[in-house]
């Protein structure tokens, strides 16, 4: 599932293609459920003629600020991706929503597993205000993080995956950050020492920046894998230390990396570096 570095890389790619400033000249919806909270026919009617003023990321949402006070938000969920194509290229069967941009271009939402969602709304804050802080913003200080962790008694892994707690992280970068800071995913958040919080607070931006530098993580070559607009995979997979490296050696201590299940999600840990009882 695309996480902060992947979604940010999509946003950066769209901005590089100079899509902000351009006008949406029409829309087609081929799978109605992709459009959340609106009939597809209304979606097409309302979005037509709007100019894309700005594209930003908040959490795992791609947020298009449109003219006339509307916001288009896209959540890629498991397998969503955006394709930037000429209008005359035939639609592939997984492209469920197509926005015409100008006279010749299209922005296409492709999604093999169909979990992705698109919102067109005048009140984006109703969704975005539910998200926790951004881990790469300056306002996300150690002090704030310490308070956040110590006011709850949840296991650290599901807590970090909870978008209302902290926005943007998913399975890949949480596993990597926990390994880097030497924390077992089942540690209880309120039990973390100041030293451990400091290590985690350093590890989270570190793994995210590495992902950003590599334009995200693509795992394998399947259709449902993560690709940037322009069909480019991210290069971060080869720099992962534990995620999906079960049975391989820990880069730090050479112990064998194990896969365990925490809150119904698979987690990859080094049993030596990440002790359950510190």
Report whether 271 contacts 177 (CB < 8 A).
no
Of the listed 2, 40, 185, 233, which one is catalytic? 2
Q: Which two tokens stand for residue 139?
A: 């306002």
Residue 20 is a catalytic residue:
no
- Give dist(CA 98, CA 106) in Å, integer: 6
Closer to Zn ion by Cβ: residue 117 or 268: 268
Closer to Zn ion by Cβ: residue 127 or 242: 242
- Give dist(CA 190, CA 178) in Å, integer: 15
Neighbours of 46 (CB within 10 A): 18
Does position 178 bind Zn ion by CB under 5 A?
no
Q: Considering only 11-19, 189-197, 237-245, 267-275, which stretch makes contact with Zn ion by CB under 5 A?
A: 267-275
Does position 273 bind Zn ion by CB under 5 A?
yes
Strands annotated E in the chain: 24-29, 52-58, 61-66, 71-75, 80-86, 95-101, 105-111, 117-121, 258-262, 265-269
Residues 113 to 142: which contact Zn ion by CB under 5 A?
A: none
Does position 270 bind Zn ion by CB under 5 A?
yes
Residue 198 is a catalytic residue:
no
Closer to Zn ion by Cβ: residue 63 or 257: 257
Residue 2 is a catalytic residue:
yes
- Give dist(CA 108, CA 55) in Å, integer: 15
CB 175 to Zn ion: min, Å: 13
**Best CA proximity match to 157, nearest among 242, 251, 77:** 242
Candidate list 91, 252, 259, 265; residue touching Zn ion; CB under 5 A: 252
CB 255 to Zn ion: min, Å: 5
The C-alpha R_g of the chain, in whole angstroms, comes to 20
Of the listed 58, 60, 108, 245, which one is catalytic? 60
Does position 206 bind Zn ion by CB under 5 A?
no
Report whether 25 contacts 48 (CB < 8 A).
yes
Q: Considering only 134-142, 187-195, 219-227, 266-274, which stretch makes contact with Zn ion by CB under 5 A?
A: 266-274
Does position 249 bind Zn ion by CB under 5 A?
no
Quick note: the x/- pattern for Zn ion over 208-247, rule CB under 5 A, is: ----------------------------------------
- In angstroms, the Cα distances linking 194 to 138, 146, 159, 200, 201 are 19, 7, 18, 10, 10
Residue 194 is a catalytic residue:
no
Active-site residues, by number, are: 2-3, 60, 265
Q: Applying CB under 5 A, which residues contact Zn ion? A: 250, 252-253, 255, 270, 272-273
């Amino acid at each position: 599932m695309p996480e902060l570095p992947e979604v940010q890389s999509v946003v950066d790619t769209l901005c590089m293609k100079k899509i902000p400033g351009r006008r949406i000249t029409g829309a087609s919806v081929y799978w109605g459920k992709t459009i959340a909270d609106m009939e597809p026919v209304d979606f097409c009617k309302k979005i037509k003629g709007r100019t894309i003023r700005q594209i930003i990321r908040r959490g795992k949402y791609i947020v298009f600020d449109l003219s006339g006070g509307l916001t288009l938000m896209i959540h890629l969920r498991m397998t969503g991706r955006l394709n930037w194509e000429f209008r005359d290229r035939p639609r592939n069967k997984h492209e469920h929503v197509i926005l015409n941009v100008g006279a010749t271009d299209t922005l296409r939402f492709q999604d093999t597993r169909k979990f992705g969602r698109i919102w067109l709304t005048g009140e984006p804050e109703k969704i975005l205000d539910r998200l926790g802080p951004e881990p790469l913003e300056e306002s996300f200080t150690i002090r704030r993080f310490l308070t956040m962790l110590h006011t709850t008694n949840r296991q650290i892994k599901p807590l970090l995956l909870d978008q209302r707690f902290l926005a943007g992280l998913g399975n890949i970068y949480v596993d990597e950050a926990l390994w880097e800071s030497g924390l077992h995913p089942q540690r209880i958040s309120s039990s973390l020492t100041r030293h451990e919080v400091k290590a985690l607070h350093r590890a989270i931006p570190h793994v995210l920046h590495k992902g950003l530098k590599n334009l995200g993580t693509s795992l394998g070559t399947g259709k449902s894998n993560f690709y940037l607009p322009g069909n480019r995979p991210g290069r971060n997979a080869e720099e992962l230390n534990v995620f999906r490296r079960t049975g391989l050696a820990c880069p730090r201590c050479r112990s064998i990396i194990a896969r365990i299940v925490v809150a119904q999600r698979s987690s990859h840990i080094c049993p030596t570096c990440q002790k359950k009882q510190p």
